[in-house]
Structure 1
Amino acid sequence: MKGNVSASGERIYHTPWDHLYGATSVNTAKGERWFCNEAEAEKAGWRRASR
């Protein structure tokens, strides 16, 4: 899972089956991160990307 920080600061994660997953990059300097699964992302306070 890829964790993105939006322009407004919202923390959103993308799953491999999301349509924007391939176009999404992770920039750790901005606080973005990788997750092993959805439960880990949600426990960390991130929400799933809109479909």
Structure 2
Amino acid sequence: MSISQVAVQQNTKVTDNKMSQNGYIVNEQGKEVQITAAMIHSVCHQLLNQCRAIKN
């Protein structure tokens, strides 16, 4: 097994163990807001659009 395969396998185990943990951010009012899948999707979409803009 290559080093990269071992790293991926170890990272997968760590990720699987942390799936039950929730992530939070602090909003403008100083309150914790749970990070949702929709938030992550939106940010990824924005980053993809920025990368496409740079490429052109």
Q: State the structure with bigger RCO (CA 8 A, min sep 6), 1 or 2.
A: 1
Structure with the higher fraction of residues in strand conformation: 1
TM-score (norm 1): 0.30
TM-score (norm 2): 0.28
